[in-house]
Amino acid sequence: MNILIISPGKSKGYLGEDVVLEYTSRISHYSSIDWKFLPTSDMKDEGEKILKAIPDNSFVVILDEKGKQLTSPGFSEFLEKRLNESVKNLVFVIGGAYGISDAVKGTARFSWSFSSLVFPHELVRSILAEQIYRGFSILKGEKYHHE
């Protein structure tokens, strides 16, 4: 399974970049992972750029405070289901300052919420990278996640 994370903003020098790089490196032991950074703009323009960046036949997950909240083991089960379904491209979309356009929401197969709070997209990158790593480590029965 290929993982693609689409995020607004710059690709270098942002808050939490070191965390994202660390967890991206760890994730690469389980799955290919790539980040696509798009210039920030208004929601409509961002939405059009996001739609162009999503590969055909992708399972799209949007990160939205109104989405479904999952525990870490629950997210691990979500990953396992995508693997069992032989999903080729698992795409996570992080919204910009104004959220995610309706056009992008329409492509989503799942809406995931980390919290009912709203976070800056730079922070969401770090949380997402860590949770993807944690999800795979739970699947593999590794010691990273403690219950």
pLDDT at 80: 98
Q: Pick the range with the lowest mean pLDDT from 9-18, 21-30, 58-67.
A: 9-18
Facing residues of 90 across strands? Answer: 3, 59
Banded model confidence at residue 147, pLDDT cuts 50, 70, 90: low
Which residues lie closer than 8 Å to 142 by C-beta, 6 or more apart? none
Are 38 and 8 in contact, with CB atoms under 8 Å apart? yes
Please identify which residue in the block is written with the tokens 């709203």.
118
What percentage of the chain reaches a pLDDT higher than 90? 78
Banded model confidence at residue 101, pLDDT cuts 50, 70, 90: very high
Q: Is the confidence at residue 13, as pLDDT, over 80?
A: no
Which residues lie closer than 8 Å to 123 by C-beta, 6 or more apart? 15, 16
